[in-house]
Structure 1
């Protein structure tokens, strides 16, 4: 079972006036990469339709990106995909704080202890960016592919990260923003979010109880660096029929200890 919804259609803001000082051809190439990153392969005509550009224009952009290995085409279906060079550059982001490498062992341990999928995410522009995952062998499982995004208020990792922020920072993040609703259980206001954050602090871990996807639960805790700042969140996700209330409490302790282990590896003294 896949948790979360992929973005569809045109990239946010595509087709409007570009800010002064930008390079149109570069903007167009980046739009192509964003759309390809969200899909499982698109034909030339599909890309052209999604981005509102002519087939000839899309062909030139793709040819340029292909020459630099940022995109590649499947010979059988003639579908375009993100290429190896895009992955190599993206990996530089993951190496920046070394948190991915430091977390890998703890994520494997969590998967083995709980039997469920373990995830790692960081905060980026007001959302959770998932950067690593260790999947369970169960047929029905949560799935957050690296590179996918989820709103802070509708994510276990997001709420775990928010629990380390001071009230002023939280209010600044959400002032004037709409709380997007994904299910009937999604948090819908700053007051409700603040109450959830207080509960998270008291427990030592956050719970996403079908707030992003019905039928799925997530338990998460923040990872701290040497300065005591939250640099990432680690979580365990799975279907509600396996994550009962008692199981969530048990997993919460595993996740909390896993986050503390990684925090100590990053130099935190109060993990």
Structure 2
């Protein structure tokens, strides 16, 4: 998967046939990639600058992306953001189905062993979206709805997704570099008192996160395990999912 695609970019690979280039498609993909890597909305001028083109060069492409539902333009501010169209397409795509299938067993085992709920989230258009959820088998637990959206900036899950977004840790701000070095986040939930979020990345072969596994730990007198034990279980589950989706190449 990731390893094989990386090898295809070696120096011996043949050059791309430029006579088959599609400039309009290049512009559209450049715009989508820029918006996906940006927190917040951008103006036409900012998008043009970000993709290295003039406003007139991207105007028709941007209008087409809006008409087809891939970007959304706020009619008051004129700013553009990605819509959830790409997320809808991703749900039909085998890699996401493979991720959900690979995560089902480890997440269920984690929830059963810890008697805590757990969820799996992916980054989408500057937000984190819950794509899978397993409820606690015990009497108490914290549940999030599949499909729910949360800010990347104000959540432990978002911290992990941002910390493992790039394959270059040196490009990260200090706080995210600390998360990257620790390999996970464990802290109190900003919105819900009494909940401790334990979050691990589900990693591709290049060390970037395809998803984040979150245990919203709720401590009660009936809790069977402490946070240290749950942390070990969550680390193992995230590693299992990563290994299933992105298996190590056979020597």
Give the TM-score, by structure 1 length.
0.52
1:195: which partner in 2? Answer: 175
| Pairing partner for 1:261 from 233, 240, 243 | 240
Distance 1:89 1:123 in 2: 14
Distance 1:90 1:250 in 2: 34
1:207: which partner in 2? Answer: 186
Number of aligned residue pairs: give it.
171
Distance 2:169 2:114 in 1: 33
Q: 1:113 to 1:203 in 2, by over 3 A?
A: farther
Equivalent position SS for 2:243: helix
1:159: which partner in 2? Answer: 159
Question: Deviations 1:12-63 (Å, cap 9, x if unpaired)?
Answer: 99xxxxx85555xx97xxx9xxxxxxxxxxxxxxxxxxxxxxxxxxxxxxxx
Distance 2:222 2:183 in 1: 18
1:104: which partner in 2? Answer: 104
Give the Å deviation of 1:102. 0.6
Distance 2:248 2:153 in 1: 28
Distance 1:144 1:197 in 2: 28
Q: 1:151 to 1:243 in 2, by over 3 A?
A: farther
Equivalent position SS for 1:96: helix
Give the Å deviation of 1:251. 1.2
Give the TM-score, by structure 2 length.
0.56
Q: For the aligned residues, what is the CA RMSD?
A: 3.6
Runs of at least 4 residues off by over 6 Å:
none
Unaligned runs of 5+ in 2: 1-39, 42-61, 73-87
Distance 2:247 2:229 in 1: 24
Question: Deviations 1:95-130 (Å, cap 9, x if unpaired)?
Answer: 536111111101001101110001111111222110
Please tell me whether residue 222 in structure 1 is matched to residue 201 in structure 2.
yes
Distance 2:222 2:152 in 1: 21
Q: 1:154 to 1:92 in 2, by over 3 A?
A: same
Unaligned runs of 5+ in 1: 1-11, 14-18, 32-87, 172-193
1:118: which partner in 2? Answer: 118
Give the Å deviation of 1:94. 7.6
Please tell me whether residue 249 in structure 1 is matched to residue 215 in structure 2.
no
Q: 1:125 to 1:167 in 2, by over 3 A?
A: farther
Please tell me whether residue 232 in structure 1 is matched to residue 211 in structure 2.
yes
Q: 1:90 to 1:242 in 2, by over 3 A?
A: farther
Matches within 5 A, 1:1-271: 20=63, 22-23=66-67, 91-92=91-92, 96=96, 98-164=98-164, 165=166, 166=168, 170=172, 194-195=174-175, 197-198=177-178, 200-241=179-220, 247-269=226-248
Distance 1:20 1:104 in 2: 40
Give the Å deviation of 1:215. 2.2
Q: 1:94 to 1:219 in 2, by over 3 A?
A: farther
